[in-house]
Amino acid sequence: MLTVKELSKNYGDFVAVDRISFSAGKGSVFGLLGPNGAGKSTAINCIAGLLKPTSGHAAVAGHDVVSDGKAARSNLGVVPQELALYEDLSAIENLRYWGKAYGLSGQALDGRVTEVLEYIGLNDRAKDLPREFSGGMKRRLNFGCGIVHKPPVILLDEPTVGVDPQSRARLFDMVEAERDAGACIVYTTHYMEEAERLCDSLAIIDHGKLIAQGSVDELRAKLGARDVLQLSGHFPVEPTKQAISALIERGNADLEFLAQEEDSITLTLSNASQHLPTIFEAVAGTGGNVTETSLRSPNLETLFLLLTGTELRE
Amino acid sequence: MSFALTSFKKDIARWRQDYMATLIWLAIPLLTGGLITTLMGSDVKPHGTLLLVDEDQTFLSELIVGAYSAGELGELLSVEKTGFDEGFERVNDGEASGLLVIPDGFAVAFLESEPVTLTLRTNPSQTILPGIITNVTEILLDAGFYAHQLFGDEIETFTSMTEDPSDAQVAAIAVAIQNKMETVAPRLFPPLIEIEIVEPPPKEPTPPLALLFMPGIILMAVVFSANGLASDFWREREQGTLRRLAFTPARMGEFLIGKALAAAVIVGLVGGVTLVLGFLYHGISFTRLPTSLVWIALSGIVLFAWFGALQMLFSNQKTASVFSMMLVFPLLMAGGSFFPLAVLPGWIAAIGRIAPNGFMAHSLTLEITAAGPWSIPLLSWLTLILAAAIGLSICGWRLRAGFART
């Protein structure tokens, strides 16, 4: 349904998207993960036809987004991160307008607008203006406007930013319903828990490059069964590195350094709780001290840390 | 072109929700026009009061009082007799246009050709009426001088009499005066001056000033509404709908045409209200209304397109809005919304007619003051159509070149 091949977008010398390739099929949710500024939005804008790629290709439902842009856009529904609604048009007028923008008319438009109003739960508020709606209702209408033409491919660009938990849960339900109805959904986010819940497969992007790609399980497997141990306190940089390296050499082969700063170090290793005394001893030997310990199971957040050395939400 | 119609309907529906802006676009020109028309269009003549202190109380002093109250002068001035102190105080307080003091012994001095002083004090805060009073007083004094020159002997005979004149003496004086009048009459009635009457070239009747103001006032409404509607490009961008539109297969050109048509209808309605009121007030034939309305709607598209193109060149809505407002007032000033081009000096009017709204107002003036409808030259129509096409093309280019995408 959606194919991206060697897609690049440069602004002068700056490479915003660097030869990324992925594909997403019918009835699936594909997650595009990465911190702010990683290149997600640029990639989405290229796929949506808003930006012309410097090189590479993207095709929506078999239509190239550059050479056959109109057909590609007809098959694509975009739900932008920010609300994009006419506050001075009623909910039904908004849906009708965007439906017409996608080429719907007549009975097809009437039927689909009624269907979407029901679907997003605004049937009884159809003639009210969005400026009278709560934030969650506006989000649902924003979603409805993106899918009013029943597109086979839907791009959701960080749809839950600034959304309350209740509306977020409602949005997840709608995404899952669209997927179950056969749509191919591309979901960009920097919330790992969302990706873990919704995505069948995903790609992690950083500095414009895809650094990992696969199903959630495949990506988790990259970490193995290792825990993530984060120690807070004071840690002299070089001595701490040497002490941890010494531990690895002494037989803790799956111990790995994820990140180190003066006030925290992050490690990954199997059965971390059993190794805590050894690690504390090593840290104490460098003159450092531990004030707080955090131990968590491996997740995509950890994977991102492992791959990039930085927290995803930075 | 079906999306152009959708875009048009969308903007009309949105405009219906924002009627306050329309009221403001209408209120400012109507208020300005109403004030100007009241000031320029009224027939009220100036009227003042001449205070007169008659210390002489003679037949001659009464004659002077009568001279100020006679004929058309009487319509401009009310002569009110008063005492010296009161009169002096009132004219100082600005309650009267002037104070004339006829001193005791004025008649005797006049008849005996002795110097006498009339005191005239005028109100410095007024210009026209005190000027008239001064001129009339000077004319009266000149008339007295010439009467002395002409009838000096008779006056002397009359003043030298110690007793009341007999009928025979009165008759003799009357005959003498009659004879002198007969002598000078051929020169005075009519004056012995050869007059060549030159007919001035036929001049087109000048429309009343208040009527000349009307097109400028209507264009003020058009400029305000077109500028307000043009800011909708930024509003659409800020609320993300322009970007969302760029994701759809709809053509940006059709979207723009729909917006321009909506602007034409809204400006036509706003301008139409001012037009109808102006037509009713000035009694202009309603056969001119359709042409005037089409001209205004087309002018609305041109101004909407150019204001829109200009606003889209700026990097943020605030700067765009401030700049366009800074442009609006000089435009209104140059284009004759505050002073009709017809009453301005030629070179200023020429500049004004180059200003877009000045050109539009000038052509509208032609339409409403000419002998018949459809008086705007074809070239003016073509100029406006070309200006609309260029303005909309620039808007389209800006929308496609990134304004809609960010």
Which position has the token pair 């001193």? B103
Beta-carbon count within 10 A of A248 CB = 14
- What strands, in cross-sheet order, belong to the sheet with A264-269? A256-261, A264-269, A227-234, A289-296
pLDDT at A246 over 70: yes
Separation of alpha carbons B307 and B395, rounded Å: 9
Is the pLDDT reported for residue B150 higher than 80? Answer: no
Neighbouring C-beta atoms of residue A217, cutoff 10 Å:
8
Q: Does residue A252 share a domain with residue A235?
A: yes
Cβ atoms of A100 and B249 within 8 Å: the answer is no
CB contact under 8 A, A48 and B244: no
B14: which chain A residues are within 8 Å (Cβ-Cβ)? 86, 88-89
Cα atoms in the Cβ-side hemisphere of radius 13 Å centred on A160: 22
Residue A314 in any domain: the answer is no
A276 Cβ under 8 Å from any chain B Cβ: no
Average pLDDT over residues B34-50: 69
| The pair of three-digit structure tokens given for residue A95, joined into one six-digit string | 């849906």
Q: Which two tokens stand for residue A104?
A: 């719907």
Q: Which CATH class is domain B48-160?
A: alpha beta
Instruction: Report the candidate in B356, B351, B366 with the shortest Cα–Cα distance to residue B301.
Output: B356
Q: Which residue has the tokens 């060549």?
A: B196
In a shared domain, residues A7 and A107: yes
The yes-or-no verdict on residue B35 having pLDDT over 70 is yes
What's the CATH code of the domain at A253?
A: 3.30.70.100
Residue B113 clears pLDDT 70, i.e. is over it: yes
Q: Rounded to the nearest 5°, which phi and psi values hold at A313?
A: -85, 10
Contacts of B253 in chain A (CB under 8 A): none
Label residue B189 by pLDDT band (50, 70, 90). low
Put simply, whether A224 touches B (Cβ < 8 Å) is: no
pLDDT of residue A86: 96
Specify if A8 maps to a domain. yes
pLDDT band for position B340 (cuts 50, 70, 90): confident
Q: What is the DSSP string of A142-191?
A: HHHHHHTT--SEEEEESTTTT--HHHHHHHHHHHHHHHHTT-EEEEEES-
Residue A153 and residue A207 in one domain: yes
C-alpha B56/C-alpha B118 separation (Å) is 11
Q: Are B317 and B238 in contact (CB under 8 A)?
A: yes
- pLDDT band at B195; cut points 50, 70, 90: low
Q: Kindly state whether residue A306 falls inside one of the protein's structural domains.
A: no
- Tell whether A182 and A71 lie within a shared domain: yes
For residues B257 and B4, the answer to whether their CB atoms sit within 8 Å is yes
Mean pLDDT of A230-238: 86
How many Å apart are CA A152 and CA A186, to the nearest integer?
Answer: 11
Cβ-contact A289, A244 below 8 angstroms:
no
- The reply to whether A95 and A189 lie within a common domain is yes
Q: Which residue has the higher pLDDT, B373 or A131?
A: A131
Vertex B300: Cα angle to B29 and B346 (nearest 5): 65
Helix (H, G, I), strand (E, B) or coil at B281: helix
Crossing angle of helices B289-311 and B209-230, in 10° steps, is: 40
Instruction: Tell me which residue of B367, B301, B370, B299 sits closest to B335, measured CA to CA.
Output: B299
- Chain B residue numbers touching A103 (CB-CB < 8 A): 249-250
Exposure string of B167-188, with b = 16+ CB inside 10 Å and e = fewer, is eeeeeebeeeeeeeeeeeeeee
Give the least confident one: A271-275, B284-288, B364-368, B374-378: A271-275
C-alpha B86, offset from chain centre = 38
Give the one of B10, B240, B247 whose C-beta lies nearest to A97's C-beta.
Answer: B10
Residue A2: strand, helix, or coil: strand
Q: Domain ranges for chain B, please list them.
A: 2-41+207-403, 48-160
Compare CB distances from B249 to A89, A103, A105 and report the shortest one's residue.
A103
Q: Is A282 part of any domain?
A: yes
pLDDT band at B164 (very low <50, low <70, confident <90, very high): confident
CB contact at 8 A, B76 and B132: yes
Please give the average per-residue pLDDT across B69-76, as a whole number: 75
Banded pLDDT at A314 (limits 50, 70, 90): very low
Two structure tokens written together for A280: 């504390």
What pLDDT shows up at residue B259?
97
Query: A245 is written with which tokens?
Result: 């390296």
Q: How far is CA A265 from CA A241, A243, A309, in A?
A: 10, 12, 11
Q: Residue B168: its pLDDT value, please?
A: 80
Instruction: Output B283 or A300, whichever has higher pLDDT.
Output: B283
Q: Is the pLDDT confidence value at B193 over 60?
A: no
pLDDT at B166 over 60: yes
Q: Report, as an integer, the average pLDDT of B189-199.
A: 59
- Residues in A closer than 8 angstroms to B10, CB to CB, are 86, 89, 93, 97
Amino acid at residue number B186? P
Segment 118-147 of chain A within 8 Å of chain B by CB:
129, 145
Number of domains composing chain A? 2
Look up the domain containing A213 and give its range: 2-220
C-alpha closest to that of B230 among B204, B263, B254:
B263
Question: CA of B402, closest CA in chain A: separation in Å?
Answer: 9
pLDDT digit string, tens, across residues A174-226: 899 999 999 999 999 878 788 888 999 989 888 899 988 988 888 877 767 67
Residue type, A136: G
Residues A201, A276, single domain; the answer is no
Q: Do B6 and A101 touch (CB under 8 A)?
A: yes
Nearest Cα of chain A lies from the Cα of B242 at a distance, in angstroms, of 8
Contact B248 A80 (CB under 8 A): no
Same domain flag for A189 and A258: no
User: How many Å is the Cα radius of gyration of chain B?
Assistant: 35
Does the residue A310 lie in any domain? no
Output the pLDDT for position B204: 61
Residue with tokens 């920097």: A190
Confidence class of residue A261 from pLDDT cuts 50, 70 and 90?
Answer: confident
> Chain B: residue nearest A85 by CA?
B241
Q: How far is CA B206 from the centre of its chain?
A: 12
Query: Percent of chain B having pLDDT more than 90?
Result: 35
User: Same domain, yes or no, for A123 and A202?
Assistant: yes
pLDDT band for position B388 (50/70/90)?
Answer: very high
DSSP state of A82: S
User: Residue B221 carries which side chain, given as an amino acid letter?
Assistant: A
pLDDT band per the 50, 70, 90 thresholds, residue B205: low
> Same domain for A134 and A251?
no
pLDDT digits (tens, 9 = 90+) for B221-233: 999 999 999 999 9
Q: Say if residue A190 is in the same domain as residue A236.
A: no
ipTM given for this complex: 0.83
Instruction: Tell me how far apart the 2 most distant CA atoms of chain A are, in Å.
Output: 77
* CA B334/CA B317 separation, integer angstroms: 26
Q: Do A84 and B244 touch (CB under 8 A)?
A: yes
Domain boundary (A201, A220, A239) is at A220
The more confident residue out of B129 and B230 is B230
Is the model's pLDDT at B192 over the cut of 60? no
Low-confidence winner among A71-80, B91-100, B256-265 (lowest mean pLDDT): B91-100
Q: Is residue A178 part of a domain?
A: yes
Q: Alpha-carbon distance A69 to A92, whole Å?
A: 28
Place of tokens 């877009």: B356
**High-pLDDT (> 70) share of chain A, %:** 96
Task: Give yes or no: residues A203 and A272 share one domain.
Answer: no
Choose from B17, B244, B266 for mutation: most chain A CBs within 10 A.
B244
Q: Of B38-42, B188-192, B306-310, give the range with the top mean pLDDT.
A: B306-310
In a domain, A183, yes or no: yes
Q: How many whole angstroms separate alpha carbon A116 and alpha carbon B46?
A: 73
pTM confidence score? 0.72
Element at A125 (helix H, strand E): none
Find which of B247, B255, B399 to mutate to test the A interface (most A CBs within 10 Å of its CB). B247
List the single best residue of B20, B22, B238, B241 to mutate versus A (max A Cβ within 10 A). B241
Q: What is the pLDDT of residues B294-310, one digit of tens each?
A: 999 999 999 999 999 99
Q: Which of A22, A32, A75, A28 is nearest to A184 (CA)?
A: A28
| CATH number of the domain enclosing A173 | 3.40.50.300
Vertex B152: Cα angle to B149 and B158 (nearest 5): 155
Q: Residue type for B255, please?
A: F
Co-location of A238 and A215 in the same domain = no
Cα separation, A96 vs A111, in Å, equals 10
- Chain B residues whose C-beta sits inside 8 Å of any chain A C-beta: 2-3, 6, 10, 13-14, 17-18, 239-241, 243-250, 405
The residue type found at A88 is D
Contact B6 A100 (CB under 8 A): yes
Q: Tell me which residue of B2, B8, B49, B73 sits closest to B256, measured CA to CA.
A: B8
